[in-house]
Amino acid sequence: MATPVENHRFVLASRPKGKPVTENFRYETEQLPPLEEGQLLLRTLWLSLDPYMRGRMSDAPSYAPPVNIDEVMTGGTVSRVEASRHPKFNEGDLVVGVTGWQTHAISDGTGLLPLPAGIPQPSMALGVLGMPGMTAFMGLTHIGQPKAGETLVVAAASGAVGSVVGQVAKLKGLRVVGVAGGSEKCRYVVDELGFDACLDHRADSFADDLAKACPEGIDVYFENVGGKVFDAVLPLLNPHARIPLCGLIAHYNAEDLPEGKDRFSLLPRVLLTKRVRMQGFIVMDDFKDRHAEFFSAMVPWVRDGKVKFREDVVEGLDKAPEAFFGLLEGKNFGKLVVKVSD
């Protein structure tokens, strides 16, 4: 690295109170030092924006440590090796890692994986063939344990995880009902992804619509959202239903318990009387050694068009905060990625 490289990055400036705002981030420019032996310089091509990032902005106890104040915001990336003094990486290699919201990074190689062979476009390693796709596949197959003829409901059905959950469930012979925000997303889920039905959770009649769409009850509910969607699902669960608990995006900005009567006693009663299994999971912790199983199933499905995907591409790192705010409000349509550089 003969001349200094200028890195542009977003760091966490303050912790949000409720919804994140622009002031919680700070945009910085820094000069990176020369590479040392065993290091490599990465240039970010693609940055993934995901709901879990909201939790990492908080210092509340969680499954992973929070982003520290003045630290680069975390995030999955696809990067190009610009220079290398590392024996396992060469200039020009494409790698998948977690280098965060920045244009460049210096790495010692820890946590970097070569871009999987055969991927049609690199950004797919952050979506259908990356963490979201693996979350969908492992949560559904290992916790949901789908059986042909059953009914599955998945929230955030047009998103990176929900869209894969529903398509894999269809391949396994289930009746699939999606839940999404707005008629456009619902049309896409049915017409393009092949779900049997999709319901707009914004409709006043949503709970009744869900009951009509699931006349034989719900056997598997893949939970991404929480809130009123879960409220509508709960009374429709069949005995021995399974609930893979992936996310609760409706609650990520909450600072207090929800208003209204306390409904907590209803949940354990349903879990007990119907013998429902509800299991939370973090895919990169609980299934970190199952990449081969995931790729062997998903790559052929994607290649053959049996599992389709959609990306919502934002151009430029400077647009990341605004896009992230929209993600938490359901404004994205498909897997949200930032194109940082060519």
What's the pLDDT score for residue 152? 98
Query: Do 5-126+310-339 and 131-285 come out as alike in CATH topology?
Result: no
Share of the chain above pLDDT 90, in %: 77
131-285: what fold? Answer: Rossmann fold (3.40.50)
Domain boundaries, the chain: 5-126+310-339, 131-285
Per residue in 210-256, pLDDT tens? 999 999 999 999 998 888 899 999 999 999 999 999 877 654 555 55
What's the pLDDT score for residue 64? 81
Range with the largest mean pLDDT of 1-10, 166-175, 248-257, 276-285? 166-175
Average pLDDT rounded to a whole number, residues 85-101: 96
Name the packing angle between helices 131-138 and 291-303 (round to 10°): 100
More confident residue, 256 or 27: 27
Beta strands in the chain (DSSP E): 5-12, 25-32, 40-48, 77-84, 94-97, 104-107, 113-114, 151-154, 175-180, 197-200, 218-222, 237-245, 277-280, 311-315, 335-339
Q: How many helices and strands in the chain, by DSSP H and E?
A: 10, 15
CATH architecture of 5-126+310-339: Alpha-Beta Complex (3.90)
Per residue in 154-198, pLDDT tens? 999 999 999 999 999 999 999 999 999 999 999 999 999 999 999
Per residue in 31-59, pLDDT tens? 999 999 999 999 999 999 998 899 899 98
Structure token pair of residue 224: 């991404």
Structure token pair of residue 338: 């930032």
Name the packing angle between helices 162-171 and 131-138 (round to 10°): 40
pLDDT at 89 over 80: yes
